Structure 1
Amino acid sequence: TGPRAGGPGRRPWRDRHGRGLRGRLVPASVPLSRTRAEIFDDLVLDTVEELERRYARELAGIEFAVEDVPPDLNVYDTDVLEDGDVPLARLLPGRPGRTAMPARIVLYRRPLEYRAADRDELADLVHDVIIEQVANLLGVDPEDIEND
């Protein structure tokens, strides 16, 4: 019996070298090869670019960020947009002066993905959350931004 002989507890050989399949099953240029995080980032960018075309002056200097999961937050803070007790996004107002910090809107990818049944629903949810946070930052009604 040689090294290829099957026996109890031995895995069957997948190819002649015993390494199994190698390389990507889908070319990198095909959309299937995109990670969930990359798809989410694209959804965020689509909405942000649309808003920046209409509100370039108001959104100048505002940072948009994505984190996988929220840190421990007090969901009763006014800067946290939540669903139940789970933060979906957070608005961090900027700080003027010598230690200036730009305003920042942070979206939490995993909680948003969890609430969407498919990619279209996720796109709508991401869009709505960004609109809500931008409206909060600008001090306007979200419908005013949506209808412009």
Structure 2
Amino acid sequence: MSRRPRSRRDRHGRGLRGRLVPEGLPLARSRGEQFDDLVLDAVEDLERRWEKELAGVEFAVEDVPWVEHTSPDDVVHDTDVLDDGSVPLARVLPAHREGGREVPPRIVVYRRPLELRAHDRDDLADLIRDVVVDQVAVLLGRDPEEIDPTA
């Protein structure tokens, strides 16, 4: 019995699967990349107004916060964590020394908790902006309305 040459099509004859959208279009970006863009937009707006105060501050995005396995009633966050109930949305990590080198201050925004609270992309953009403004206010020791009067 001879084997048929292997086809480059899948077994249902529909062809190879691949990208549905060309790479340069916005739809080709993953949800994580789109979220990063929204955080970057919020940060860039604030950096224009607070350039000197935010010089050296790092902004990071993590998918989910790391939380020890405890019951939600037992979770108590430090004042550097912005949370909704017991779920952290963002965190301020102040500058510190680690291993003999200076680590700059960092604001970490958690993607999945924010995405789950937003109804659509515009709502997500507003929520991200509010969270970033709040965390910058905590870092600088100021009122959020002073950081962004439009918030």
Q: Tell me if TM exceeds 0.5.
A: yes
The corresponding residue for 1:79 is: 80
Which of these two proteins has the greater Rg computed from alpha carbons?
1
Query: Counterpart of 2:89 in structure 1: which amino acid?
Result: L
CA distance in 1, matches of 2:97, 2:23: 43
Quote how far apart the aligned CAs of 1:23 are: 2.4
The corresponding residue for 1:132 is: 134
CA distance in 2, matches of 1:25, 1:96: 47
Higher RCO (CA < 8 A, seq sep 6+): 2
Quote how far apart the aligned CAs of 1:77 are: 0.8
Quote how far apart the aligned CAs of 1:75 are: 4.0
Quote how far apart the aligned CAs of 1:14 are: 2.4
Alignment CA distance shift 1:96-1:57 (3 Å) = farther
Checking the alignment, whether the CA contact within 8 Å between 1:75 and 1:86 is kept in structure 2 is no
Quote how far apart the aligned CAs of 1:41 are: 0.3
> Is residue 2:8 matched to residue 1:13?
no
How many percent identity over aligned positions? 62
CA distance in 1, matches of 2:49, 2:97: 24
The corresponding residue for 2:143 is: 141
> Is residue 2:43 matched to residue 1:42?
no
The corresponding residue for 2:91 is: 90
CA distance in 2, matches of 1:131, 1:75: 22
Quote how far apart the aligned CAs of 1:96 are: 5.9
Query: Counterpart of 1:13 in structure 2: which amino acid?
Result: H
Give me the TM-score of the superposition, normalised by structure 1: 0.84
Task: Tell me the secondary structure at the aligned position of residue 147 of structure 1.
Answer: coil
CA distance in 2, matches of 1:81, 1:141: 14
CA distance in 2, matches of 1:75, 1:111: 17
Checking the alignment, whether the CA contact within 8 Å between 1:75 and 1:87 is kept in structure 2 is no
Query: Counterpart of 1:54 in structure 2: which amino acid?
Result: R
Checking the alignment, whether the CA contact within 8 Å between 1:92 and 1:104 is kept in structure 2 is yes
Quote how far apart the aligned CAs of 1:142 are: 0.1
Checking the alignment, whether the CA contact within 8 Å between 1:75 and 1:82 is kept in structure 2 is no
> Is residue 2:48 matched to residue 1:53?
yes
CA distance in 1, matches of 2:78, 2:50: 26
Query: Counterpart of 2:61 in structure 1: which amino acid?
Result: V
Task: Tell me the secondary structure at the aligned position of residue 76 of structure 1.
Answer: coil
Query: Counterpart of 2:105 in structure 1: which amino acid?
Result: A
Quote how far apart the aligned CAs of 1:25 are: 1.1
CA distance in 2, matches of 1:33, 1:71: 29
In structure 1, list runs of 5 or more residues that go unmatched.
4-10
In structure 2, list runs of 5 or more residues that go unmatched.
4-9, 69-74
